[in-house]
Amino acid sequence: MEKTLGKDIYDWLLQLGLSHSNAIILKGVIIVIGLLILSYIVFKVTQKIVVKLFKEIAKRTETTWDDIMVERRVFHRLAYIAPALLIHALTPTMLAEYHIWSSILQAALKIYMVFIVIIVMDAFFNTIVDIYQDFELSKFKPIKGYVQISKIVIYIISAIIIISVLIGQSPLYLLGGLGALSAVMMLIFKDTLLGFVASIQLSSNDMLRPGDWITMSKFGADGVVKDINLTTVKIENFDNTITTIPTYSFISDAFQNWRGMEESGVRRIKRSINIDIHSVIFCTPEMISKFEKIDLIKVYMKSKQAELDEFNTKNMVDDSIMVNGRRQTNLGVFRMYIQNYLKDNPYLSNDDTLVVRQLQPSEKGLPIEIYAFSKVLEFDAYENLIADIFDHILAVVPQFELQIFQNPTSIDYK
C-alpha cells in the first residue's frame, strides 16, 4: 500500500509538470509531512482517549498513587511515545527510496524517544518520592538523595546513547573510552558524589530527618530541616530565612540535633547565677527564726535545725563560737529554697534530674547552677519560663542576706 501511495503521488506530481528529479524530491517531502501530520493525529487521539481514560480511572479508585501519577503527568508524557513508534514503524517502507532521509529520520526518532524516556522516568521518580512521603517511614528515611542519583545515572546513560546514535557507534564503544574521562568525571561530580555518600550515612545512621530542629553555628543555621537532597540540605531558621548547607558538611562538620529533646517531651535548663562569696555566713538565731516563716522551707528548717541541735547537744558543742559543731548557712538554706521552688513549679518535670548545685568558685564569685528540665518546648514560652524563674531567684537573694556578684560600676565608685 505504501508503494502504491508513493507511486500515486509521484504520478500526480508528473502530471503537474514537474521533472522526474523534482517529483522524487517533492514526493519524499510530502511523505515526511504526511507522517508528521499522522503522528500528530495519533498523539492527540492518545492524549484525548488513553490519558483521559487513566485520569477517570484514577478518580474512581481509592488509592492515591494513581492520582499522584496523573498530577505528575506521567501518562501525559507517555503519550508522546505513540507518534514516535508510528513514524519508526512506517519510515522503512514509506521512505524506502530515500536511504539518507530514512537514516536521518530514524536517528532523530531514536534521540527523540530517549528524551521521552528521560522525561517519563523523571516524572515517575518524582511520583515515587511523593508516594513515599505519605508513609510514616519517610520521616525517618528520606529517599530524595537516592532518587536524584538514579536520575543522574539515567541522564548519563541517555547521553551515551544519544552520542552513540549521532556518531553511529555502539554504546559499548563509548563506555570503553570513559576510563580516560574518569578523573574529569570525578572532578565535575565531586559535590554530587560526596553528597551521595553523605546522604547514605545520614540516612543509615538516622542522623538527620526532615522536620528536625538543628543548630549548626558554622553556617549560622538554627531552625527546622525542610528538605534533604543529594547536594544540599535546606533549613528554615526561626527568623524565616533559609540556610542552604552542602549535604557532605553534616558528615565533616559538627551540628546539634534537638530531636531527642522533642521526643523526650522535656527541654533542659542549665543556667547559673554568681553569689558574692563575702556574703556567705552561718545562720544566726534571728535568721533561722526568719527563714522558718518562709512557706517553701518551713518544714525543712524545723527538721534540719532539730537535727543539728540534737547533734550539737549530744556532742557537747561549745555554742559560743559558731564554727564549732554543725550549723546552717544562708547559702545552704538558699539552695534548699530554690530546689523546693523549682519542684513546686508545674512547668518543670519532677521525673527528670532537678539539681541546684555549686560550681567551682572563680574571680567572679560562687556560681549556683540550676539544672532542670522544662515541660515547655516552644522557644518563646521556654525562654519566658526561664526568665520568670530567674526573676524570682534574683529578687529573693537579699532575703537570705546574700549578694549577687557583679563587677563594680560607676555607681559603686560614686
Asked if pLDDT for residue 1 goes beyond 50, the answer is no
Range 351-369 average pLDDT: 91
Range 128-148 average pLDDT: 72
Query: pLDDT digits over 216-243, tens only?
Result: 888 888 888 888 877 788 999 888 889 9
- 171 pLDDT band (50/70/90 cuts)? low
Range 95-115 average pLDDT: 73
Distance CA 297, CA 340 (A): 7
As given in the structure block, the three cell numbers for residue 325 are: 559543731
Looking at residue 258, its pLDDT comes to 78
Beta bridge pairs of residue 369: 272, 357
What average pLDDT does the chain have?
A: 79
Measured in whole angstroms, the distance separating CA 393 from the mean position of its chain's CA atoms is 39
Among 161-175, 207-221, 274-288, 316-330, which stretch is predicted with the lowest mean pLDDT? 161-175
Looking at residue 139, its pLDDT comes to 65
More confident residue, 123 or 183: 123
Range 146-163 average pLDDT: 78
Looking at residue 2, its pLDDT comes to 43
Looking at residue 3, its pLDDT comes to 47
More confident residue, 396 or 205: 396
Among 20-24, 112-116, 308-312, 372-376, which stretch is predicted with the lowest mean pLDDT? 20-24
Residue 149 phi/psi, 5-degree rounding, is -65, -35
Looking at residue 35, its pLDDT comes to 72
Distance CA 258, CA 238 (A): 14
Looking at residue 120, its pLDDT comes to 80
Distance CA 79, CA 85 (A): 11
Range 114-138 average pLDDT: 78
Query: pLDDT digits over 369-399, tens only?
Result: 999 999 888 888 889 999 999 999 999 999 9
- 286 pLDDT band (50/70/90 cuts)? very high
Among 15-19, 73-77, 106-110, which stretch is predicted with the lowest mean pLDDT? 15-19
Range 353-372 average pLDDT: 92
Give Cβ neighbours of residue 86 (< 8 Å, ≥ 6 apart). 35, 38, 39, 42
Whole-model pTM: value is 0.50
Looking at residue 196, its pLDDT comes to 72
Distance CA 337, CA 287 (A): 14
Looking at residue 91, its pLDDT comes to 67
Domains in the chain, please, with CATH?
Answer: 2-202 (no CATH), 206-258 (2.30.30.60), 267-413 (no CATH)
Looking at residue 163, its pLDDT comes to 77
How are strands ordered across the β-sheet holding 355-358?
267-275, 366-374, 355-358
